[in-house]
Amino acid sequence: MDLRKWAIFSLLEPRFVSKIKIACVFGNSGNEALIVTEDDSVYALGSNSAGCLGLECHDSTLFPKKVKALCHKRVEGFAYGSGPHVLAYTADGLVFSWGHNGYCEVGDGTSCQRLKPTVIDMALEGKHVVAVAAGSHHSLTLTDDGEIYAWGHNNCGQVGSALSSNQSAPRKVNSVIGGKKCVSIACGQTSSMAVTENGEVYAWGYNGVGQLGIGNTSNQQTPVRVKGILCSVVITKVECGYSHTLALSDMGQLFAWGSNGYGQLGTGTKSNCNSPVQIAQDIGRIVDIAASHYSQISAAMTQNSTVYMWGYCRGQIITLPTKTPFSSLHEVFACFSTPAVMWKPLEVKQHEGNTVAESLRAAFDDPNTSDLTINVQGRPIYVHKTVLKIRCEHFRAMFEHNWQESTRSELNMEYYTYPVYRAFLEYLYTDHVLLPPENALELLVLATEYCEAQLKRLCEQIIEHGITVENAASLYAAAIQYQAKELEEFCFKFCLNHMTAVVQTDDFSKLEGDTLKDFIRRAAHNGAFKS
């Protein structure tokens, strides 16, 4: 997935982006991010609310800064709350925590804000953590032996300790699940969920809108099994939204329960459900699901990689799973979640080998793969007939309608200069124009002749960026000649704003009769000659 879909990454240099291994966007406005690079360095950027970037200060930053305490610790993933507080776990099974700690969600035995990521060793010492999860102000970890530890805010029982007081250090939870090994954990705003090895689901914490799925709306201070329709299926994964829950079975069935005021359950209504209901039965086998305690949006991917979304989608209430053009669940959250946070850290898979665009770019002017040579001013340009046919109507007509040129492997171009025609051909391979403003006018002529509307617009932009007092009049005349209306209007306004200087230039004195008369008429109409 292109990380530029997340606004916070828009200033990153491409070379830095190419080294990213894991990225995580969080924060109440999607304005904080953590990054792990291929060399095992960890970076942070954003507004740094409550010191959540782990930079050991409260300073915000537009550009990535190293999180020294996490560098070379082999960080594998993150979880975050809405304080925000942050958890990170490593390949060695350690858990680091930092950020907001007013409800003991950092788990260091205090309620003091922590600016530096620090290993949690209370109760977790000797344990190997393989997953972390966070609600608004509470935290869960899952160990490799299937045990769950929880801490933090506990006003609704979300820590699962059978008490209502906050838990300042990790405490084992699943001793009350009957000793069953757990394989998955998730957190809603103030609720917690776990999936056992045999596919059972357990829930605890706040249940005011039925997000625990236990058939009522009573809070639970210890884990309770979610039954009903789930008793006849094997659940492999659970994801929690702000106050709703999704569950995926090993047969690709999707179940939902909890709050539904924004259609986030996907039932076609806005009625809450306090027991699981099966949804999306008509879209095929589902292989992955997504939700976040920050938002009211849901998403799923089917076996054929089709992505669906529903719920509160950028201000719209969508009550049924709706097909999207996306190829990743992360794109749903980047484009339609409010706020635009990641539902889980994004593992960036760098391309092995070139992309299609990169391969096309490399093929331009390559004599080793070319099947057509175009000579311009005695200089060859190596291209491919198929690419030219695909990209340009002029060449498609030339090569498909028995023109004389269609059978040749070499053509001569006599009407344009080498820099301009080369720039045109390169544009067909790259969608970009690398040409100075003084040459763009000739390319504009070519684009007009070949009916290349997009190229024509690019030429107009290049010319606009290169306009000066000295060339404004001639550019205005050329825009009229080639019927470039937007460029004509731009040049006219420029001339109007610099009238005294423009009328004294050589280019202005060379304007032909009708063009000069029209310019003077328009200028007068716009008040240029009023005293």
Q: Note whether 378 and 317 are same-domain residues.
A: no
530 occurs within a structural domain: no
47: CATH: 2.130.10.30
* pLDDT values of the chain reduced to their tens digit, one per residue, 531 residues: 789 899 999 999 989 998 999 999 999 999 999 999 999 999 999 999 999 999 999 999 999 999 999 999 999 999 999 999 999 999 999 999 999 999 999 999 999 999 999 999 888 989 999 999 999 999 999 999 999 999 999 999 999 999 889 999 999 997 778 778 999 999 999 999 999 999 999 999 999 999 999 999 999 999 999 999 999 999 999 999 999 999 999 999 999 999 999 999 999 999 999 999 999 999 999 999 999 999 999 999 999 899 999 999 999 999 999 999 999 999 999 999 999 999 999 999 765 667 888 899 999 999 999 999 999 999 999 999 999 999 999 999 888 766 777 778 999 999 899 999 999 999 999 999 988 877 888 899 899 899 999 999 899 888 888 889 999 998 899 888 888 888 899 999 999 989 999 999 999 999 999 999 999 999 999 888 775
> Which residue in 322, 334, 231 sits closest to 278, CA to CA?
231
- Provide the pLDDT for residue 174: 76
What pLDDT score does 44 carry? 98
Pair 270, 410 in one domain: no
144 and 47 together in one domain: yes
| Residues 382, 304 within the same domain | no
The answer on 378 and 297 residing in a single domain is no
Co-location of 334 and 269 in the same domain: yes
**CA distances to 155, 320, 488 from 274, in Å:** 21, 18, 64
- How many degrees, rounded to 5, is the angle at CA 346 between CA 344 and CA 350? 165
Residue 433 and residue 343 in one domain: no
Are residues 341 and 419 located together in one domain of the fold? no
368 belongs to a structural domain: yes
- CA gap 96, 88 in Å, rounded: 5
Q: Which of 302, 324, 347 corresponds to the end of one domain?
A: 347
**What backbone torsions phi and psi does residue 426 show, to the nearest 5 degrees?**
-65, -35
**Is 454 within a domain?**
yes
Range of the structural domain that residue 443 is part of: 356-525
- DSSP state letter for 407: G
User: Is residue 328, in this structure, part of any structural domain at all?
Assistant: yes
3-state helix, strand and coil shares in percent for the chain, rounded to the nearest 5: 25, 30, 45
Residue finishing a domain among 302, 325, 347? 347
Residues 318 and 382 both lie in one domain: no
Tokens encoding 176: 């009350």
Final residue before a domain boundary, out of 316, 347, 378: 347
Q: Are residues 414 and 341 part of one domain?
A: no
CATH code at position 493: 3.30.710.10
Per-residue pLDDT, 466: 84
Crossing angle between the packed helical segments 418-430 and 453-465, to the nearest 10 degrees: 120
CA distances from 466 to 250, 264, 478 (A): 61, 51, 14
Predicted TM-score (pTM) of this structure: 0.77
Token pair of 501, please?
Answer: 């200087």
Neighbours of 121 (CB within 10 A): 15
364 and 342 part of one domain: no
Of 72, 2, 59, 13, nearest to 32 by C-alpha is 59
Give the Cα separation of 351 and 296 in Å (integer).
33
Rounded distance, CA 473 to CA 519, Å? 10
* Distance separating alpha carbons of residues 120 and 130, to the nearest angstrom: 14
**How far is the CA of 176 from the CAs of 189, 190, 235, 362, 529, in angstroms?**
22, 19, 20, 61, 88
Whether residue 531 is contained in a domain is answered as no
Q: Per the domain annotation, does 470 fall within a domain?
A: yes
Whole-angstrom Cα distance, residue 223 to residue 429?
59
d(CA 121, CA 171): 12
Residues in the chain: 531
Contact 52, 98 (CB under 8 A): yes
SS3 353: coil
Residue 174, in any domain of the structure? yes
Task: Provide the domain count of the chain.
Answer: 2
Is there a contact between 42 and 70 (Cβ–Cβ < 8 Å)? Answer: yes
What pLDDT shows up at residue 352?
60
Q: Are the beta carbons of 178 and 188 closer than 8 angstroms? A: no
CA distances from 257 to 228, 277, 284 (A): 11, 6, 20
The DSSP line for 293-343 is TT-SEEEEEETT--EEEEEEETTEEEEEEEE-S-SSHHHHHHHH-SS---S
Give the whole-angstrom CA distance, residue 443 versus residue 433.
10
Residue 479 lies in a domain: yes
Does residue 136 share a domain with residue 186? yes
